[in-house]
Amino acid sequence: MMKNEYDANVWYPTTPEDIAEATEVFTRAGFPGCIASIDGVHFAYEGYASQDRHFFVGKERYPCVGVNVAVDYHGRAMHVSRLHRGGDPDITMAAEDAFLQSLDEDDVFRDFEFFLTSLDGRVGVKGVYTVGDNGYPKWRTIVSIQAPGTWLRHGEVVQGPGVPPEERGVFLRKAETAVHGARE
């Protein structure tokens, strides 16, 4: 039953046409070659044996389980990893993530070509990448190079934990970014 639910609700690109569809809207948003946004997601969990609680408590400070999730520009799920214990950091979940591995290993993703434009002209680049936080240093991921907690509000940089979590949805991450692992 769960496999049917996964297949009905998760869209996984497998062809050059699928990849072109997934990257097209990111390209229009200024991120040519980006295929997905990724992050670790944690859910409260109480089904552990009491002696194993420490395996399920991580940075969230409460017992939980986690998955690595990749979504397209519209928030449609492209991949959900296997379930992990909450004490596993995002990088551990990413290391075992089949989607991230396929981006580096499968020719359909590695051979996808997109173009960057500079003052010197257009440059062709091969291989899609994802948008994520700095928990994915091994993979082709674009991340903010600003210090955590740096936000842009109406053109003004706001620093640190002074931005309450409930207000962060109205802020945008400062736009300066860097691509890790790009191949020309």
Measured CA to CA, the distance from residue 110 to residue 101 in angstroms comes to 11
Per-residue confidence band for 182, with pLDDT thresholds at 50, 70 and 90: very low
25 φ/ψ angles, rounded to the nearest 5 degrees = -70, -35
Q: 148 burial class (0-12, 13-18, 19+ CB within 10 angstroms)?
A: exposed
Structure tokens belonging to residue 61 = 């400070």
Tens of pLDDT, residue by residue over 63-78, are 989 888 999 988 889 9
End-to-end CA distance of the chain: 43
Measured CA to CA, the distance from residue 157 to residue 170 in angstroms comes to 13
Between 77-91, 105-119, 169-183, the lowest mean confidence (pLDDT) is in 169-183
User: How do the domains of the chain map onto residue ranges?
Assistant: 2-134
Mean pLDDT of 106-122: 86
Indicate the DSSP class of residue 135: T
Per-residue confidence band for 24, with pLDDT thresholds at 50, 70 and 90: very high
Model pTM?
0.70
